[in-house]
Chains A and B, each alone.
Chain A
Amino acid sequence: MITRAPRIVTSRVELPDSFTLERYLATGGYEGLRKALSMTPAEVAAEVNKASLLGRGGAGFPAGRKWSMLRRAATTYLVVNGDESEPATFKDHMLIEHDPHQIIEGTAIAAYATGVELAFIYCRGEFALGFERLQQACNEAYEHGALGADVLGSGYGLDIVVHPGAGAYICGEETALLESLEGKRGFPRIKPPFFPAAVGLYGEPTVVNNVETVSNLPWIVSHGGDAFTALGEGSSRGTRLFALSGRVARPGWFEIEMSKTTFRDLIYDPSLGAGIPDGKSLRAFIPGGVSSPWFGPEQLDLGLDQDAVGQAGSMLGSGSVVVMDSDTCPVRAAWRIARFFHRESCGQCTPCREGSGWIEKIMHRLEQGLGREEDIELVLDACDNVSPGLGWPPKQTTICVLGPSIPSAIVSVAKLFRDELLVHVKDGVCPFPPDKVRRG
């Protein structure tokens, strides 16, 4: 069902000067922060708790609860994760480029609510324009008085540092991000300690929130938590930004009310994806980024709901939906995903460091028609040694979840498209060569 939900995080992004302070102020900017500063931090946190805002970075952890876990200490930090780097994920990118002030304001609200006086926004290094606009917005916010020693005349002091990444997907993993911020190699930290809220940046308690998560905060504070909870169902409240790509007529980002809209709506509704072009049919879709297990046409009627998707054996994850049509080779898609993880493995844990390369090699030869039938079991067993049991949610033999993300696509292909795999082996050639797939 397509609902007429308000645009919470994308209300101004289509305006040509959406990233400027002028436009931001003209469209109600920094009013949420002003209101928050008139409340106590606890009241702000309570409002966010009431909104049941789930983290938008991929894990979907309730934002309010994350804040409440912050260990009390003399120094605490807030880090906003803008290192969006997964293939087909481009929602944060858009928010950073087109509404940086909203991120600054959201960050300030989160910092105020958690008692933080120094926040960092870690922006993916490849977002050259985004980084520039974010830094510019930050500078403007200082000039405007929305940041600095006396935020909007409230007496509360906050500094924000915008920090660029250096080109590693793994630095989107929150503990690797903290290492990177500290100037170290982007290796995820081993657990325990389990949460940055206990031991985070420079060893101090740290809240790590996603860019989209904090972008919701100005609206939530302005309109109240109840207004947010009025949208969506169950645990999935509010709206969410989805990045739709692959074989659809209208790829792009869409802000959609959670739960009520289905994948079918997202892919086929003329106002959203507008269906699969060239009269092709849907073969499969990835519901929540390349680390999530794939769905087939039978799951199209699932709502865009964190719990429902989880129960069906996958996740909403980073909110990127990739559509494969009947011309798309699922083996090739899985190989390309494996190649991505191989290139991005940090190299710390043996199973991921070595396994990712081996898995990619096997998938590559299967895709090229050079594989053996036993390679199917071999690649699954190699996957099993990275993520024992190949179940969902995945178990892991590694420090972070990058490794256990590798098998999702491969297990999906083996489960949904074993026949196609066998055709590759038997014919010695890919039946869906990419040069035959017309690009829309």
Chain B
Amino acid sequence: MSKTASVHSLRTRFAVAEDLEAPAAVSVTVDGRVVEARKGELIIEAAERAGIFIPRFCYHPRMKSVGMCRMCLVEVSGPRGASLQPACFVEVADGQEVFTESDAARKAQEGVLEFLLLNHPLDCPVCDKGGECPLQDQAVSHGPGESRFVEEKRHWAKPIEIGPLVLLDRERCIQCARCTRFAEEVAGEPFIDFAERGDRIEVAIFPGEPFRSYFGGNTVQICPVGALTATPYRFKSRPWDLEQVETTCTTCSVGCRMVAQSSAGALVRYLGVDSEPVNQSWLCDRGRFGFEAVEAPERLNKPLVRSETRLVESTWNQALTAVADRILQTLDGSGPAAVGVIGGSRLANEDAYAWVRLVKGVIGTDNFDAQLGDGLPAELVASLPRATIEETVAAGTVIVLAGDLREELPVLHLRLRQAAANDGLRIIDCAPVATGLEQVATWLPYRPGEAAELARTLVATESGDRVVIVLGRPSLAEPPAEIAAAAAVFAAAWPSARFLSALRRANVHGAIDLGCAPGMLPGRVTLEEAGAFFGEHWGSVPGARGLDTAGMLAAAASGEIKMLVLLGADPLSDFPDRDLAVRALERVDFLVTVDTAPNPSSRLADVVLPAAGYAERGGSTTNLEGRVTRLAAKVMPPGVSRADWVIATELSDRLGAQLGFESLDGIWAEIEKLAPAHSGCTVEALAAPEAADGIVIPLKPSAVQLTRRPLRLDPIATPGIDSVSEQGAPLGAGAAMSPGVEPDVDVRADEDDFADDEFADEEGPGELEALEDEVSPEDVSVPVGNRRPGLVRFAPGDWTGSGSLPPVDESPFRLVVRRGLYNHGTLVQSAGSLAPLAGSQELRLSPQEMSQLGVAPGDEVRVSTPRGELVVAAVGDGGVPSGVALLQFNAVPAHETGASALIDCSVRVVGLDVEKVI
């Protein structure tokens, strides 16, 4: 297939959304050029589409205009003649004439620039922003050239630490209010605001309240000067030394688009890319500063093989041979069911596919689970009718039945919060303990273990009209079956309801889609239905459904599973039931870890295989919507570590089966060919510029609407992104930008579409047959008549949970365990700047019960369950209902006893006793 042909076919199959508001168009003249604009569009935006760049500082395309900096003053004709108006605030009007370079406009712009520089220190050589600074650039392009200011500039102590990650240099601040507006308007965390007035005005925190925002890095990203700097990047590099690739963040499953920037071969900075359907240029701090974990010195860089009691450095040959021999030995002695593989969410799609083919097609075991007992059944996630983020924020009602999204999926939280706060989205938050959505949502508390009961109440009282359910795990101490049962209640009562998965692990959705789950095969199909099809293509598939992680650990603990492979998984830290994990890993005969960094589980391994980490390998990833985006490699993996797919391929070779994989694209081509859900989503489609924001699978029978990346000529929106087509041309020093830019596209789901089209029943993938025309016969040989199997279908009857009987309380409290953004897991703890942010462990109780127990805030209490006990400080929290106690998962270092010591994953409710330590 030639490149031209593929791009052409892309354009026909993937309809690019066009401006739907054309009827309301008005015609304005900007510097003599006639521009068609939408009614309500700002002059600055309309001019941009005409290729005319108007200078600006406070304007940001993702925030409300305030017209404060006055840099964008242009002359606008009006009933009383032309006057100077801020282009970022004044809307277009039919017949309006705008002059951006008239004498008056130029003088005003130069005047503002000169004013801005009066008190701005000229310390560009030591300023992080120097070289990518909108003030520097626009001083050259729109400034007077030299200053007439001969006085002493304003001086202030600097920098001041306003939060753990952000430093403020008040001398450099130009008071554009981008950071304060972001904090209030976007993040809903108004920790910073202006203090004082006039030229003594400063961005400040409130006394005793540091800037503890999970999104603070965004204020650094959008600061148009060097006033806000982030400690992890400060003085690390100069912009001209940076190289960058656009990629997707895989810290959680939201899949924010971003650029990874490196200097001298090391990652130094991530910046959010404005991906309309997903992150709209924002990142959370955990994702943004997670690059430190990639660069951590403790990364695995050589294979390790256990010799006596120690793990010693080895070679790939020795290590892989040891693993392969052991696999063959186990297969001979005990059969494939004695091998289990836990993990896969860390992997790229191609890696996951390679491992699935190895594990299910070659080794022949179905014991493979990408989730660690903290997720939901794969068939459920794969079969529920889905909503995208865009559809979710445009829904009539969003029901959240998940953990605290602010902690687990921060940018999804941001999108929901913004939609609720600014657009009136109705959110019902079903949570045993209040969450970060408290201020914008209606909180419906439910008793842990009774999610399905709450669902039954809701479907009896709510209309179910245009509902999206955000489905995750509200508590790790509540078994997934209860949440699955609740989901089934919703789905059965409201056939038009859609679901957005809130499983949080990086590529857990890609892993599930590709079969890293018991009973599943690539393409959202079941082993039962698609076994024959894949058997034909792979040679063989497991004969019976395997175990999930809880099952595998139990089987390992009882000796039935003899060999476990931890594929980027650390059950000792991450499995909710630590007791079971310990028994399993101590009992299992042979333990293999494939990972990027050592962790508590890998220390017990017999063989440790070092894997290439984030930004060290390419491939693709699938986010919680099912959106597939491309990952990019920017830096070299440490030592001799290898990509996971290479490890799978090599291991397969040693087992005597050639997978035949030679490249990521080759693997993807096979996925696209065989996996029903991925059909039509070709390598070319994913690589096309139109698909920069990814492609949601499965493709719809109708043309797929791609979200054309807004081609904003706004180098000021995110300073420091080396702008290419994604974010607009680099700043041309005020010169006209390249013509022919394409209009912004509004990709919000149209409300009617939402109800009629988007929510209509999916057609089976067989309907995608026509798309196979795209695949040339040489590349793919689908046997004639060998129809792909159908996608797994949702069957409410499969998910009954524990029935409707409420559990009987034998203890005064029911335990709720949730994850926090910063914890003692490996990723956070190997990122030097984030590690100290992990709080200490505390038990949260309702203030009333605190006093009933005679416990003052901070007092130590002993909490115990049938599984174990620990001593912890208690804190009163108005967001905790009575009879409920909240602990954070992974809130202590791995060697200490944490919440996982209390959880029995086989019971519906974990009862908790609390007593004061005297």
Question: When the two chains form their complex, are residues B112 and A388 in contact, meaning their CB atoms are under 8 A apart?
Answer: no
Q: Which residues of A contact B86 (CB under 8 A)?
A: 190
Flag whether B613 is at the interface (Cβ < 8 A).
no
Flag whether A385 is at the interface (Cβ < 8 A).
yes
Question: When the two chains form their complex, are residues A347 and B115 in contact, meaning their CB atoms are under 8 A apart?
Answer: no
Instruction: A395 to B84: give the CA distance in the assembly, Å.
Output: 9
Q: Which residues of B contact A356 (CB under 8 A)?
A: 198-199
Flag whether B114 is at the interface (Cβ < 8 A).
yes
Number of interface residues of A (CB under 8 A): 32
Flag whether A353 is at the interface (Cβ < 8 A).
yes
Question: When the two chains form their complex, are residues B199 and A357 in contact, meaning their CB atoms are under 8 A apart?
Answer: yes
Question: When the two chains form their complex, are residues A354 and B199 in contact, meaning their CB atoms are under 8 A apart?
Answer: yes
Contact of A185 among B149, B193, B200 (CB under 8 A): B193
Flag whether B901 is at the interface (Cβ < 8 A).
no
Flag whether A399 is at the interface (Cβ < 8 A).
yes
Which of B68, B73, B83, B110 counts the most A-chain CB atoms under 10 A from its CB?
B68
Question: When the two chains form their complex, are residues B198 and A397 in contact, meaning their CB atoms are under 8 A apart?
Answer: no
Given A349-B68, A354-B116, A397–B197 Cβ distance below 8 Å? no
Instruction: A342 to B199: give the CA distance in the assembly, Å.
Output: 8
Q: Which residues of A contact B71 (CB under 8 A)?
A: 350
Question: When the two chains form their complex, are residues A388 and B66 in contact, meaning their CB atoms are under 8 A apart?
Answer: no
Question: When the two chains form their complex, are residues B119 and A397 in contact, meaning their CB atoms are under 8 A apart?
Answer: no
Contact of A351 among B67, B104, B115, B149 (CB under 8 A): B115
Question: When the two chains form their complex, are residues B108 and A388 in contact, meaning their CB atoms are under 8 A apart?
Answer: yes
Q: Which residues of B contact A397 (CB under 8 A)?
A: 70, 73, 84, 108, 111-112
Instruction: A395 to B83: give the CA distance in the assembly, Å.
Output: 8
0/1 per residue, A339-358, Cβ < 8 Å to B?
A: 00011111111110111111
Number of interface residues of B (CB under 8 A): 35
Instruction: A358 to B149: give the CA distance in the assembly, Å.
Output: 8
Question: When the two chains form their complex, are residues A388 and B194 in contact, meaning their CB atoms are under 8 A apart?
Answer: no
Instruction: A388 to B84: give the CA distance in the assembly, Å.
Output: 9
Which of B83, B84, B89, B111 counts the most A-chain CB atoms under 10 A from its CB?
B111
CB-contacts of A385-405 with B (<8 A): 385-386, 388, 395-399
Flag whether B174 is at the interface (Cβ < 8 A).
yes
Residue of A nearest to B88 (CB): A190
B302 to A: closest C-beta gap in Å: 57
0/1 per residue, B75-116, Cβ < 8 Å to A?
A: 000000001101001000000000000001001101110111
Flag whether A168 is at the interface (Cβ < 8 A).
yes
0/1 per residue, B148-174, Cβ < 8 Å to A?
A: 110100000000000000000000001
A400 to B: closest C-beta gap in Å: 11
Flag whether A264 is at the interface (Cβ < 8 A).
no
Contact of A357 among B67, B114, B198 (CB under 8 A): B198
Question: When the two chains form their complex, are residues A353 and B201 in contact, meaning their CB atoms are under 8 A apart?
Answer: yes
Instruction: A388 to B197: give the CA distance in the assembly, Å.
Output: 24
Residue of B nearest to A396 (CB): B84
Contact of B108 among A357, A385, A399 (CB under 8 A): A385
Question: When the two chains form their complex, are residues B70 and A346 in contact, meaning their CB atoms are under 8 A apart?
Answer: no
Flag whether B196 is at the interface (Cβ < 8 A).
yes
Q: Which residues of B contact A350 (CB under 8 A)?
A: 68-71, 112, 115-116, 174-175
Question: When the two chains form their complex, are residues B151 and A342 in contact, meaning their CB atoms are under 8 A apart?
Answer: no
Q: Which residues of A contact B200 (CB under 8 A)?
A: 347
Contact of A385 among B115, B197, B199 (CB under 8 A): B115
Q: Which residues of B contact A346 (CB under 8 A)?
A: 197-198
Flag whether B775 is at the interface (Cβ < 8 A).
no
0/1 per residue, A396-422, Cβ < 8 Å to B?
A: 111100000000000000000000000
CB-contacts of A263-318 with B (<8 A): none
Q: Which residues of B contact A357 (CB under 8 A)?
A: 118-119, 198-199
B183 to A: closest C-beta gap in Å: 14
CB-contacts of A361-389 with B (<8 A): 361, 378, 382, 384-386, 388
Question: When the two chains form their complex, are residues B174 and A347 in contact, meaning their CB atoms are under 8 A apart?
Answer: no
Instruction: A350 to B173: give the CA distance in the assembly, Å.
Output: 12
Given A185-B193, A342-B199, A388-B104, A347–B175 Cβ distance below 8 Å? yes
Q: Which residues of A contact B201 (CB under 8 A)?
A: 347, 353
Residue of A nearest to B112 (CB): A350
Given A358-B149, A385-B115, A388-B107, A353–B84 Cβ distance below 8 Å? no
Contact of B112 among A170, A385, A396 (CB under 8 A): A385
Q: Which residues of B contact A395 (CB under 8 A)?
A: 83-84
Residue of A nearest to B110 (CB): A385
Q: Which residues of A contact B69 (CB under 8 A)?
A: 349-350
0/1 per residue, B179-222, Cβ < 8 Å to A?
A: 00000000000000110111111000000000000000000000
0/1 per residue, B108-151, Cβ < 8 Å to A?
A: 10111011101100000000000000000000000000001101
Q: Which residues of A contact B111 (CB under 8 A)?
A: 351, 382, 384-386, 397
Instruction: A9 to B170: give the CA distance in the assembly, Å.
Output: 49
Q: Which residues of A contact B73 (CB under 8 A)?
A: 397
Question: When the two chains form their complex, are residues B108 and A347 in contact, meaning their CB atoms are under 8 A apart?
Answer: no
Q: Which residues of B contact A388 (CB under 8 A)?
A: 84, 104, 107-108
Q: Which residues of B contact A343 (CB under 8 A)?
A: 198
Question: When the two chains form their complex, are residues A351 and B112 in contact, meaning their CB atoms are under 8 A apart?
Answer: yes
If A190-B86, A351-B112 are given as contacts, then 10 extra A-B residue pairs at C-beta distance below 8 Å, sorted by A number, are A190-B66, A344-B197, A346-B198, A347-B199, A347-B200, A350-B71, A350-B175, A353-B175, A357-B119, A384-B111
Report B's interface with A, CB cutoff 8 A.
Answer: 66-71, 73, 83-84, 86, 89, 104, 107-108, 110-112, 114-116, 118-119, 148-149, 151, 174-175, 193-194, 196-201
Report A's interface with B, CB cutoff 8 A.
Answer: 168, 170, 185, 190, 342-351, 353-358, 361, 378, 382, 384-386, 388, 395-399
